[in-house]
Amino acid sequence: MNIAIGVTGASGAIYAKVLFAKMHDLSDQIKEVGVVFSENAKQVWEYEIGDDTYKQLPFKIFAANDFYAPFASGSGNYDALIICPCTMGTLGRIASGMAGDLICRAADVMLKERKKLILVCRETPLNLIHIQNMKTVTEAGGIICPATPSFYSKPQTIEEVAATVVDRVLQLAGLKQESFQWGEGSN
């Protein structure tokens, strides 16, 4: 499976950090991972995570304006794009069909090729424009997976809280992993 990951400047860099760690752990199921960060995503990562470890990921990182990246074309044979976290601006551009950067172009490719597009939207509260854009992307075949953690597994750290969302995203992408399942350990 070939997976692209887009990281935008929404608050929630911890979701991307946990996603990258889990993707690394699932490397036996993944042939290739391509990554693209928006400029704001890098700034938010450094502010929220407190370092620049996004520069040292074990995956190929593409510039936000690199339209030669393999996932910028349907012939690149990527199976999924996960945008985590996803800003409302990125969601709006995708819903409008605007592909002015690599993240939005890759999303357009996933939709036109009928491949998996998973948007981990991170905003609250939502206005009607956000909701309508979510509806548009969903009707086009995308999956909106809000960065809304669950607490059934009784997470103890911020990473475990973020993992409740990331585990669901990986499941939606078609990757198999060990994670909390509803009904496990409940009395």
Q: Has residue 43 got a pLDDT over 80?
A: yes
Angle at 119 between CA 156 and CA 113, to 5 degrees: 140
Can you point out the beta strands (E) in 8-65? Answer: 32-37, 60-62
pLDDT band of residue 187 (cuts 50, 70, 90) is very low
Q: Has residue 59 got a pLDDT over 80?
A: yes
Domains in the chain, please, with CATH?
A: 2-173 (3.40.50.1950)
Q: Has residue 93 got a pLDDT over 50?
A: yes
Confirm whether pTM is higher than 0.85. yes
Q: Has residue 185 got a pLDDT over 80?
A: no
